[in-house]
Amino acid sequence: MCGIVGYIGKKNAIPIIIEGLKRLEYRGYDSAGLAIINDKRQLEVFKQKGKIVALERIMPQAQRTFSNIGIGHTRWATHGKPNTINAHPHTCSQNKIALVHNGIIENYIALKTKLIDHGYSFDSETDTEVLAKLIGFFYQQDNDLVIAVKKALKLAKGAYGIAVICSDDPSRIVAARKGSPLILGIGNDEFFVASDVNAVIIHTHKVIYLNDDEIVSITKDNFEITNLDNEIIEAIVSEVDWDISTIEKGDYKHFMLKEIFEQPVSVENAFRGRLISKMSTVRLGGLNMTPADLRNIKKIQIIACGTSWHSGLIGKFVIESLARIPVDVEYASEFRYRNPIITPDTIVFVISQSGETADTLAALREAKARGVKVFGITNVVGSTIARETDGGVYIHAGNEIGVASTKAFTSQTTVLILLAVMLGRVNHIDPAYGKRFINELRLIPDKIQTILQSNDYIREIAKTIMNSTNALYLGRGLHFPVALEGALKLKEISYIHAEGYPAAEMKHGPIALIDKNMPVIAIALKDDIYDKIISNLQEVKARNGRIITIATQGDDLVTDFSQDVIYIPETIDILQPLLSVIPLQLLAYHIADLRNLDVDQPRNLAKSVTVE
């Protein structure tokens, strides 16, 4: 959600910031802007509605200007429309200070009222302009940017990641965070600030992840991190262990397609090194739990948002089935605002690809405050959730850039299945099952590869339903969350209204919608409830529904009532979601692409939702 990039060093800041913003565009992309200090020690601000290319178009002259300090922003609107006036940077009333901001200043109306009482006026509808003017207000008292930022932040309630420059002090960037990620990149005689490592990775692999309530003052040669009470904080420098190629599209038309095709590898990375063949079990070292600890778990609470919540639902199904431990799965945004029952023998798992989702983070903190252990299932190493949990499991999916999550979902699901088997082996399941599981899991990457070979065929199916206005996804048991995920993918990127439903529940409502124009995408694999879903699909057929079935290789029966069948290889029940979701991802992708939509940056969405 919104991206921040700042640069100070010997090079020209403008192209570095523009390039960095492009790398962050997946986080927010409705408007963009940047501010530099020119050689006359004046602040210059460029802003434009739309994507970074729109910003570049209005500043060809500036591209030739040289400035070795600047800050930039790509926005996902919270307060005020996505237009040029509301775009960041915002400035103080004397046009000396420029600020870019991620997050929300919750008390901005009260602060704005006070500033208006002091004679201030405002151009935009944003909370950010209020913060910029407030910093300006304090700057007039002390003429010290760091002090002014600290004074303003002490009054601000809410979440922020900010970067600030001031034309009176042209060799300093001040940056701070609370609840919204911010890193300091350390180069050779240059520094970067960014909301995300992606923005700086071509320049440096050395980063410092700022913590909440920390402020960094950066000059060309040095930096100092303090907290709001002026105590000096010792910085821990981390080395980023991935490189630029992982955030490039390569030959793929979209990141989403690339990420779908990466799944044979990303799923393997999620289980690599975690299978203990000799004991027919699984080890998740990051949990730091002995078999005795695992046996003591009486209840599991899973908390997540979006796609991660869907993987949590699969987790519930497999953990309850293999380990017989009750599992509750809740949206983080709901969990944090009610009074959930957390017994002392409960453990909590928060699932988050980005590790930064504001609601998930708040739910994590609420669960910790109740004195139970909270573990994370995250992708982004060093993310806030990864750092604040008591331990956890990285899914190792690699960078996911497409806003619609694909490979993170299968990797999260893989980890949850591993967890279920690990808990199952200390409770209920025998070594023979453990062994079979390990053997079957090892075959999954190749089976995903086989499904990916149906890509062209799935595109042909997509052509036949690309103009639909609604779609229904049906599944039973652990395929119900897969149906939810398939429907979510379609909604997110094609803007077709879609719903996921447990197939039998269809009779209690959605069946009223079924006619020849309504595609029904059904997951009907050979398992214990195969016959049941077949009956449900006959009910759809009787109402002239157009059925696309995800079926087990070799199942001819489904052709009787399906217009199209996408076959997937057989595997054991608990691993089926890792296969059945792949055609649904491809179907959504091709429909959106055929509709000429912006697959990787769908309207109104953002990859990482750092506001509640």
Q: Which residues are catalytic?
A: 2, 607
Q: Which stretch binds ligand G6P (CB under 6 A): 8-16, 27-35, 402-410, 525-533?
A: 402-410
Using CB under 6 A as the binding criterion, the count of chain residues that bind ligand G6P stands at: 16
Spatial separation of the C-alpha atoms in residues 386 and 389, rounded to whole Å: 6
Residue nearest to ligand G6P (CB): 306
Buried b (16+ CB within 10 A) or exposed e, 85-117: ebbbbbbbbeebbbbbbbbbbeebeebbeebee
Q: Which is nearer to ligand G6P, 312 or 434 (CB)?
A: 312
DSSP state, 395? -
Q: Residues near 332 by Cβ (< 8 Å), separated by ≥ 6?
A: 303, 304, 305, 350, 357, 359, 360, 362, 363
- Give, in order, the Cα–Cα distances in Å from 196 to each of 49, 177, 362, 563: 22, 13, 20, 45
- Give, in order, the Cα–Cα distances in Å from 507 to each of 202, 253, 469, 535: 54, 40, 21, 11
Instruction: Give me the helix-helix angle, 576-594 and 407-427, nearest 10°.
Output: 170
Quote the tokens at residue 81.
């429309």
Burial class (CB in 10 A: 0-12, 13-18, 19+), 23: buried
Which is nearest to 464 in space by CA: 542, 519, 511, 513?
Answer: 519
- Rounded to the nearest angstrom, the gap between the alpha carbon of residue 483 and the centroid of all alpha carbons in its chain is 20
Shortest distance (Å) from residue 348 CB to ligand G6P: 15
Q: Which is nearer to ligand G6P, 9 or 481 (CB)?
A: 481
Shortest distance (Å) from residue 307 CB to ligand G6P: 3
Binding track over 338-357 against ligand G6P, x by CB under 6 A: --------------xxx--x
Q: Which is nearer to ligand G6P, 305 or 483 (CB)?
A: 305
Give 177's strand partners. Answer: 161, 214
Shortest distance (Å) from residue 548 CB to ligand G6P: 23
Residue 279: CB atoms within 10 A of its CB come to: 13
Which is nearest to 253 in space by CA: 29, 23, 589?
Answer: 589
Shortest distance (Å) from residue 147 CB to ligand G6P: 35
Q: Which is nearer to ligand G6P, 485 or 564 (CB)?
A: 485
Shortest distance (Å) from residue 40 CB to ligand G6P: 43
For strand 497-502 and strand 470-475, is the pairing parallel, antiparallel, or unpaired? parallel
Residues 404 to 433 in contact with ligand G6P, rule: CB under 6 A: 404-405
Q: Which stretch binds ligand G6P (CB under 6 A): 204-212, 254-262, 341-349, 398-406?
A: 398-406
Q: Does 399 bind ligand G6P (CB under 6 A)?
A: no
Among 6, 306, 315, 519, binds ligand G6P (CB under 6 A): 306
Among 97, 478, 578, 605, binds ligand G6P (CB under 6 A): 605
**Contacts by residues 596-599 (CB-CB < 8 Å, ≥ 24 positions apart):** 597/493, 597/494, 597/495, 599/254, 599/256, 599/257, 599/402, 599/404, 599/493
Shortest distance (Å) from residue 406 CB to ligand G6P: 9
Look at residue 179 and give its three-state secondary structure.
strand
Among 565, 609, 610, 611, binds ligand G6P (CB under 6 A): 609
Give the H/E segment covering residue 316: helix 306-323
Spatial separation of the C-alpha atoms in residues 97 and 136, rounded to whole Å: 7
Among 201, 305, 329, 575, binds ligand G6P (CB under 6 A): 305
Q: Residues near 7 by Cβ (< 8 Å), separated by ≥ 6?
A: 13, 16, 17, 20, 68, 69, 70, 190, 191, 192
Which is nearest to 407 in space by CA: 227, 523, 265?
Answer: 265
Q: Which is nearer to ligand G6P, 465 or 605 (CB)?
A: 605
Q: Does 307 bind ligand G6P (CB under 6 A)?
A: yes
Look at residue 325 and give its three-state secondary structure.
coil
Among 126, 128, 308, 562, binds ligand G6P (CB under 6 A): 308
Shortest distance (Å) from residue 112 CB to ligand G6P: 29
Q: What is the dihedral of CA 535, 537, 541, 546, to 10 degrees?
A: -170
Residue 1: CB atoms within 10 A of its CB come to: 25
Binding track over 253-292 against ligand G6P, x by CB under 6 A: ----------------------------------------
Q: Which is nearer to ligand G6P, 405 or 549 (CB)?
A: 405
Q: Does 195 bind ligand G6P (CB under 6 A)?
A: no
Shortest distance (Å) from residue 26 CB to ligand G6P: 10
Shortest distance (Å) from residue 96 CB to ligand G6P: 37
Residues 354 to 383 in contact with ligand G6P, rule: CB under 6 A: 354, 357, 360
Q: Which is nearer to ligand G6P, 478 or 611 (CB)?
A: 611
Spatial separation of the C-alpha atoms in residues 241 and 257, rounded to whole Å: 24
Q: Which is nearer to ligand G6P, 354 or 536 (CB)?
A: 354
Q: Which stretch binds ligand G6P (CB under 6 A): 219-227, 400-408, 444-452, 562-570?
A: 400-408
Q: Which stretch binds ligand G6P (CB under 6 A): 42-50, 99-107, 155-163, 600-608?
A: 600-608
Shortest distance (Å) from residue 304 CB to ligand G6P: 6
Q: Angle at CA 462, nearest 5°, toward 459 and 463?
A: 95
Q: Which is nearer to ligand G6P, 99 or 611 (CB)?
A: 611
Q: Which stretch binds ligand G6P (CB under 6 A): 59-67, 87-95, 135-143, 306-314?
A: 306-314
Q: Which is nearer to ligand G6P, 395 or 550 (CB)?
A: 395
> Do residues 274 and 284 make contact, with C-beta atoms less than 8 angstroms apart?
yes
Binding track over 63-102 against ligand G6P, x by CB under 6 A: ----------------------------------------
Q: Which is nearer to ligand G6P, 93 or 357 (CB)?
A: 357
Spatial separation of the C-alpha atoms in residues 379 and 370, rounded to whole Å: 25
Shortest distance (Å) from residue 159 CB to ligand G6P: 15
Q: Which stretch binds ligand G6P (CB under 6 A): 20-28, 500-508, 532-540, 604-612?
A: 604-612
Give me the residues that bind ligand G6P (CB under 6 A), please: 305-308, 352-354, 357, 360, 403-405, 605, 607-609
